[in-house]
Structure 1
Amino acid sequence: MASCGFCLNHPTITFITLPINSYRPKLGPLCTEGRHGAKTMAEVVEVLVPGGKATAGPPLGPSLGPLGINVKAVVDEINKKTASFNGMQVPVKIEVDAKKNFTLTVGIPPTTALIKKEAGIEKGSAEPNAKVAGNLPFEAAVRIANMKLEGMLSYELKTAVREVVGTCVSVGVTVDGKKPKEVLKLIAEGKYDSQLAK
């Protein structure tokens, strides 16, 4: 038998097999559960609710009930913060921490939904280039742009309004009675600058 070069005798190696349950890694504090099974890390619930008309029924009630927080308080807060989006589906994020405190983040409905609401129409034109579905006052385009400014790629109001007016093309909505492309040209020429001054 050849020598290993490090020792004169080759000791016998014994392998010990442990049952799976005898060794369990300890979980960090973020993964542990409290006395009643409540997780110590924040729970996040994301839902779509009707603006200003959320209720404790689905989808909110079943999602929030198991978290042990005051569902009515959450619903009231949501309705207060989404009242201006009446008639639209609004994305809402609720974060609940281990102490049952909640933080509410209200998203903004899509630009097309805001345009339809401001133009007083239920749906856009099936043939946007041929048929007009409604008209959007320029002031309403500015209002929508202000709402959407943070989430847009635009860095200034003028560019944000151009994006809103551009969306009117696909919805089949005129702006101040003019074709959206005409209005885009007028914005570029500075005709609306006085209305775009913050």
Structure 2
Amino acid sequence: MPTKSIKIVVEGGNVKPGPPLAPTLSQLGLNVGEVVKKINDATSQFKGMSVPVTLEVDTETKKYEIKVGIPTTTSLLLKFANASEPSGDPAHKKVGDIKFEDIIQVAIMKKPQITAKTLKAAVKSILGTAYSIGLTVDKKSPKELVKTVDEGKYDDLLAKYEQKWNEAEG
């Protein structure tokens, strides 16, 4: 079956039925309004975040499948912090504070896309991103927290999420 893949990045739950998506969908003979509504439904949990979406279209039957990717680590962290954008100067200007458990949640959500083999390694990677965009975690520098994670101070908390990590696809 001849298929065409359309890869786009959309704002979760807020796709508009205009260019650049509409002309592409029209050329394939698809109902633009219907496809846009389905993409919005599929991405609604990521409101306000940039989300990668792949549309697999069977060019003969006009059937299509929407595959929603995972927002960027930066988008997820900013969402937890209720911040609109990363800091241009993370060493001196902080844009928000999130909980350590938010870091764990992001690590679990991003498991399919990160190379970390353990939840602890994934959390340290996410802490690095939090630091680079100007977030603090539990009012502390994420850089400091990487050391405390290495020292085992968060092992009990991480153990609570180990099963969720193991169940996450990746």
Common fold by TM > 0.5: yes
Counterpart residue number, 1:129:
91
Residue from 107, 125, 143 that aligns with 1:145: 107
Q: CA contact under 8 A between 2:55 and 2:67: conserved in structure 1?
A: yes
Amino acid at match of 2:110: K
Taking the TM superposition and a 5 Å limit, the aligned residue runs for 1:19-58 are 41-58=2-19
Q: In angstroms, what is the RMSD of aligned CA positions?
A: 1.6
Taking the TM superposition and a 5 Å limit, the aligned residue runs for 1:100-115 are 100-115=62-77
Counterpart residue number, 2:79:
117
In the TM superposition, residue 90 of structure 1 has moved relative to its aligned partner by: 1.2
Q: CA contact under 8 A between 2:7 and 2:55: conserved in structure 1?
A: yes
Counterpart residue number, 1:87:
48
User: Separation in 1 of the partners of 2:122 and 2:33?
Assistant: 36
In the TM superposition, residue 126 of structure 1 has moved relative to its aligned partner by: 2.3
Q: CA contact under 8 A between 2:15 and 2:36: conserved in structure 1?
A: yes
The structure with higher relative contact order (CA 8 Å, sep 6+) is: 2
Counterpart residue number, 1:22:
none
Counterpart residue number, 2:167:
none
Counterpart residue number, 1:154:
116
1:61 paired to 2:22? yes
Counterpart residue number, 2:127:
165
The 1:74–1:157 alpha-carbon spacing in structure 2 relative to 1, beyond 3 Å, is farther
User: Separation in 2 of the partners of 1:152 and 1:75?
Assistant: 29
Amino acid at match of 1:177: K
User: Separation in 2 of the partners of 1:158 and 1:75?
Assistant: 38
1:96 paired to 2:57? yes
For structure 2, the residue ranges without an aligned partner over 5 or more in a row are 164-170
1:183 paired to 2:157? no
Q: Which moved more, 1:91-100 or 1:125-134?
A: 125-134
Per the normalisation by structure 1, the TM-score is 0.74
Percent identity over the alignment? 43
Counterpart residue number, 1:75:
36
Count the aligned residue pairs: 159
User: Separation in 2 of the partners of 1:143 and 1:81?
Assistant: 20
Q: CA contact under 8 A between 1:47 and 1:59: conserved in structure 2?
A: no
